[in-house]
Structure 1
Amino acid sequence: MTIVTAAATLLIIAKEPVPGRVKTRLTPPYTPSEAAALAEAALTDTLHTLLRVPARRRVLVLDGTPGPWLQSGFDIVPQVPGGLDERIAGAFALCDDGPALLVGMDTPQLTADLLADVGRDGHDAWFGPAADGGFWALGLADPSHAGPLVRGVPMSTERTGPILRRRLVEAGLAVCDLPLLRDVDTASDAASVAGLCPPGSRFATALDLLAEVAR
């Protein structure tokens, strides 16, 4: 087991919230512009949450161009070409020695408390399972392990999370399981997640505003 007590490098992998490119499974019932507004709100909530987590560095690994939703405190780097497995491996390759944690932009209910012990509790890996069978977080005490662990994992399937976690265990890593969270993929997901968001959530507010407009 690798004992690590340093603050982690925090990575968020995200797409620029452009209509027609993000959250396409929200359309219908939402329009592409409304889906992009919800994506932007979810991304903004996630960025604000990561600013409250102790970190040695915070990195936005972005497909697209930064917009007014971006807060200071993040380094911006482009995603590498390829499938999601390659892009995740490329994100971890940005890290130096020491723990690193990657999250996505689909869980605006995420709180800083859920991530407080990552890199500080003596585990080799941290795994956040998603309700749809994927995963919302992956942390590694040694980020250089990411490539062999992630490359080749089939992404966006109900088997993605279990396959990845099995790889972590088979690599001999001591895994800390983070809480199960629900990704925002469909309108039903959006409604459920909004109810779990902390007070002041931009995502919950954006969803409420769209509901008012539809009345």
Structure 2
Amino acid sequence: MTTLLVIAKAPVPGRVKTRLTPPFTASEAARLAEAALSDTLRTVAALPAARRIVVLDGPPGPWLPPGVDVAPQCGGGLDERLAAAFALSDGPALLVGMDTPQIGEAVLAPALAPGAWRAHDAWFGPAVDGGFWALGLARPDPRLLRGVPMSRPTTGAAVRRRLTGAGLRVADLPLLRDVDTGHDARLVAAQAPGTRFATLHARLTARAR
């Protein structure tokens, strides 16, 4: 079975989702980050997996559900931290971020199906901003990520080139929007009305009117 990895920051005001301020305060941005992380982990906890791990920068909190282990992030740039996260699995692994609370079981199901790795060596989830929200590897190899410039509009394309350049058979997951800005938050909340993220977003924006 596949190991599920979630790369995340602890939702501490001033350290997480700083691009949400404004329109939100640092405290509200942290609360939205916590809601997004909770939604993501709730989905992960419900899916079949060999192991579920949140690879965390900071301390765990009450948002951590049962059945999800915690591993600390290593130092270095995001490319190094992602590479180290994959090293936690000795078999197939699927990594997602904490910025897409709209993911549900159906979105991730193709990469976790019994035959997910028969015809594919990698699964790639592109993001609207040019990055990626998910990456699955049948045989995690840190060289696929180390040295890739992160948090740029070209990051996703660069990672995908690494995969295909290594001769991997790549399957694509749906294009999704990360929550980075207030505009992103509004669109994602509208797309996923049943999530904790959407509920909190509605409460915070109603209060601001």
**Alignment TM class, shorter chain as reference:** over 0.9
Equivalence for 1:174 = 169
For 1:43 and 1:91, locate their aligned partners in 2 and report how far apart those are by CA, in whole Å.
17
CA distance in 2, matches of 1:141, 1:208: 39
SS of the equivalent of 1:138 reads: strand
* Aligned residues of 1:135 and 1:161 also touching (Cα < 8 A): yes
Paired residue secondary structure (2:55): strand
Aligned-pair identity in percent equals: 66
Instruction: Report the counterpart of residue 108 of structure 1 in structure 2.
Output: 101
Map of 1:94 onto structure 2: 88
> For residue 185 of structure 1, what is the aligned residue in structure 2?
180
Structure 2: unaligned runs, 5 residues or longer: none
**SS of residue in 1 equivalent to 2:22:** coil
Is this contact kept in 2: 1:106–1:183, CA < 8 A? yes
Structure 1 unaligned blocks of 5 or more: 1-6
**RMSD (Å), alpha carbons:** 0.9
198 and 208 in structure 1: CA distance in 2 versus 1, 3 angstrom threshold: closer
1:33 maps onto 2:30 in alignment: no
Residue 211 of structure 1: CA displacement?
Answer: 1.3
| Alignment deviations for residues 1-41 of structure 1 (CA, whole Å, 9 cap, x no partner) | xxxxxx21000000000000000000011100000000000
CA distance in 2, matches of 1:206, 1:85: 31
Q: Which amino acid aligns with 2:96?
A: V
SS at match of 2:199: helix
Deviations 1:100-158 (A, max 9, x none): 00000000000111111215322100000000000000000112x2x100000000000
Deviations 1:62-114 (A, max 9, x none): 00000111111111110000000000000001111x21000000000001111
Q: Is this contact kept in 2: 1:54–1:116, CA < 8 A? A: no
Confirm or deny that 1:127 pairs with 2:124: yes
Determine if contact 2:97/2:134 at 8 Å carries over to the other structure. yes
How far is 1:198 from its partner? 5.2
TM-score (norm 2): 0.96
The aligned runs of 1:42-57 (5 Å cut-off) are 42-57=36-51
